[in-house]
Structure 1
């Protein structure tokens, strides 16, 4: 009901929820009604009937829990005002290329199908905020999906056959939730630091495939939950010690050597303290070196806080034409924050 109220505000006209099953016995043509929400769910449909309504008036279409094997290109192309499309739990092997015509689409649910790939044209759905493609047979995502879907807040691709996430995924600056568990991921993108709004990251249960995490994971400054359980990870990156907002860390089911088991058993704070100390030289050679994170924290480039008595102020590293990290989250500045420059264990700031 809440979402229907949002749709009503969006279209500035009354929303009518029409259950087409209740129209079947009516002699009136469906086109006599001005439809906004159409429910065709759980009707055991093998194919879609020829529509006798104006498709351009539909803002939500529910085709879930049927036996659909395809969606006609011509039908999708005419859903010009579509905001929510739900086709979960069908027998779809692919999506129509014309899905790229849905310029107003905000929520797309294609979970529980047999889809092996998403059409490249999905990159044209730039208003998309939530994409649910769980429980399919996806082996890869469109290469440029992250560069185009800049408004995406939730990406759920769990229970597929993904071997990697495209590099462009790192540029989904609006993304808050990334769920890629139960896949075949070998690695994560190296330059994850641009995911400045990411709060939940779940890459658990990639089992014997995922054996390491990138150092850039320590720059996910909004991260609250991190689940890397049931993989083959032997060492957590030291940079995780910098995740000040992290409240939940799941690492069970990994052959962890660093941090040691006795540290992990003490909980999140002990793990973060251990990694932070290790990163700052507490577990290194007698020659004291400061890591890149220590230097950045010193100069407040982590949106840091300076306490002066009871007051809290924001400071930034003073330099000509300085821009915060948030403003540099674009491919143009990719080299400046490349993990190869910032995250290499051989790169240190000396006194």
Structure 2
């Protein structure tokens, strides 16, 4: 070495470090691992991983690096107070294999490997005896290993969009399985032991090559939803023993005839794109609970006789058949809201009647009954209306209040709107009914309404509400909503919205655009994530209720929402803030969250 040359840096510990092979081991940021030891959850979704990092497998085995230098009992992050890993999310990567070291994570409850490139699974996977959820969809699996049957506590197994040609008979050992999805595979048959899955609630075998169902299906006594769409079925076995089954999907098969007995409590039946004729669907008669019936794209030449007796129908799809006449008795179905007839050669119905919508069509059909039977009053049982208790005219005239609440009605009668015609109604209360959609005649008061109460109904959509530009208060609690329409952004005067007890899985995106909001009540839903940047845009927001949701993490940036005077987070599965912090009140919670924001991170 020349005296003038600078010596290279020598690694004195090089001989003690393991040598990496040609394939570099992926690494996980130390901060993520540290947080995983605290929370018991690790999310590595969408990181381009080709292998599961070795540090992940050994997370519960090796002492963390900080154990070498941080031994202070006063430290805020005590490395020895760590949690075993219970939730590992590895979806949307490029992982090609799972090593036997997966057995080093015996406390796992959730393992998500969907959207990867796995073509096999290790036998060691069967050692994860505590596993509750296993998601393996969108991989390259051609075989479901027998070892899966060892996961005796498994409740959810998703294997859709793989290359499976068969399922092992041993699958029936998963007696606690409640959700099984093997759709979009190459299955030619289902295991004969399938009936042993005695806890199964939801089964999806759609998009396969099934020509028959296995014997023993009638033993799935708890089954609520069954999807066999897009297979090769020509006939169905007797399913009448499935007394809990409410939803049955049979679209795009080769069915010509329905079994004589169907599940007695069916609410939704989808039979579109089969080869059914009018006689083949006769078993539909007498289904007292059927709400949705889809028969589109079959070989019907007439409306099946039993349909007119299905008094609970709300949606009837007869599109793209060969129906030439429509029986007037259809007009007597009291709850029917949607009737689809396009693609039929209907001769006695003018085109303009069809284009006016279901309500006008049913009204026309009822009129045909009166014409065909002069002097005979329509049977009262066919035209059941909600309670006809008189409205309060004084409330309409002086309070500008239109109230039709607690009537248990599935629709609001026309006379209710007629009584308020021409009045500048400011408040509407249609709560405690059985409405499935917002009455369109409410639009007659769109320029004056400021307060709408539709709570305790069965609403699944709310598009009509987007037109009430003067609205300030909206109560939609206790319905069946899972989304809000994007056009709700136009309600720029809305200050309070109550969405308790619905079915939202995320904080509705459109609410982030309503900077007039002061109160948002979203408790008792299934919300899993929040966007703190979106909440920061709501400069007037002072009350936010997210109690009893599925938040497994509260973003620290939420602490920057200093305008909040009431923040309710109880009843969520997150670990921090702890219950003691929540009990101190909103100000303390926000202060705690702000203290957790990294110095180099802004919202």
The interval holding the TM-score normalised by the smaller chain is 0.7 to 0.9
Structure 1 pair 16/131, CA: closer, same or farther in 2 (3 Å)? farther
Deviating 4+ runs (over 4 angstroms): 14-23, 300-306, 310-314
1:167 aligns with 2:251: no
TM-score (norm 1): 0.72
**Does structure 2 conserve the Cα–Cα contact (< 8 Å) formed by 1:127 and 1:149?**
yes
Q: Is the 8 A contact 1:136 1:160 kept in 2?
A: yes
Equivalent in 131, 134, 137 of residue 35 of structure 1: 131
Match of 1:56 in 2: 152
Distance 1:242 1:53, change over 3 A: closer
Q: Deviations over 1:304-349 (max 9, x none)?
A: 55525349989xxxxxxxxxxxxxxxxxxxxxxxxxxxxxxxxxxx
Q: How far 1:149 moved relative to its partner?
A: 1.3
1:18–1:38 CA contact under 8 A, matched in 2: no
In structure 1, runs of 5+ residues without a counterpart are 1-13, 315-351
Among candidates 137, 151, 154, match of residue 247 of structure 2:
154
In the TM superposition, residue 254 of structure 1 has moved relative to its aligned partner by 0.3
SS at match of 1:240: helix
State how far apart, in whole Å, the 2-side matches of 1:273 and 1:140 are: 38
1:116 to 189, 206, 211: 211
Q: Which residue of 2 aligns with 1:194?
A: 286
1:128 aligned onto 2:223: yes
* Max Rg structure: 2
Give how far 1:271 is off.
1.9
Q: Distance in 2 between matches of 1:190 and 1:236?
A: 17
- Normalising by structure 2, what TM-score? 0.44
CA contact (8 A) 1:69 1:92 kept: yes
* Contact 1:229 1:253 survives alignment (8 Å): yes
Deviation at 1:18, TM superposition (A): 6.1
Match of 2:356 in 1: 266
Deviation at 1:100, TM superposition (A): 0.7
The corresponding residue for 1:228 is 318
Match of 1:45 among 110, 135, 141: 141
Q: Following the alignment from structure 2 to structure 1, what is the Cα–Cα distance between the partners of residues 148 and 249?
A: 34
Q: RCO higher in 1 or 2 (8 Å CA, sep ≥ 6)?
A: 1
- Cα drift, residue 53 of structure 1: 6.6
- SS of 2:360's partner is helix
2:49 corresponds to which residue?
none
1:225-252 CA-partner distances (Å, limit 9, x unpaired): 2111110011112221012222221111
The alpha carbon displacement at 1:267 in A equals 2.9
Alignment correspondent of 2:372: 283
Task: Give the SS at the match of 1:44.
Answer: coil
In 1, Cα distance between the equivalents of 2:140 and 2:231?
A: 20
34 and 92 in structure 1: CA distance in 2 versus 1, 3 angstrom threshold: same
Counting only pairs closer than 5 Å after superposition, residues 220-259 of structure 1 correspond to structure 2 as 220-259=310-349
- List per-residue Cα deviations over 1:98-123 (Å, max 9, x = no partner): 11111110010101100011123111
Cα drift, residue 32 of structure 1: 4.7
- Shift of the 57–152 alpha-carbon distance from structure 1 to 2, 3 Å rule, reads same
CA distance in 1, matches of 2:334, 2:102: 63
Equivalent pairs counted in the alignment come to 285
Aligned with 1:212 (options 294, 298, 302)? 302
Q: Give matches, 1:66-85, under 5 Å.
A: 66-73=162-169, 75-85=170-180
TM-aligned CA distance change 1:257 to 1:17, over 3 Å: farther
How many Å separate the matches in 2 of 1:203 and 1:16?
Answer: 45
C-alpha change, 1:59 and 1:77, in structure 2 (3 Å) is same
Partner in structure 2 of residue 331 of structure 1: none
Shift of 1:15: 12
Q: Determine if contact 1:38/1:58 at 8 Å carries over to the other structure.
A: yes
Question: Using a 3 Å threshold, how does the CA distance of structure 1 residues 131 and 215 change in structure 2: closer, same or farther?
Answer: same
Report if the CA contact (8 A) 2:227-2:249 is conserved: yes
| In structure 2, distance between residues paired with 1:64 and 1:151 | 24
Question: Within 2, Cα distance between the matches of 1:52 and 1:269?
Answer: 52
State the secondary structure of the residue aligned to 1:61. strand
Unaligned runs of 5+ in 2: 1-83, 104-123, 392-403, 409-603
In structure 2, the CA distance between the partners of 1:52 and 1:107, relative to structure 1 (3 Å rule), is closer
Aligned to 2:267: 176
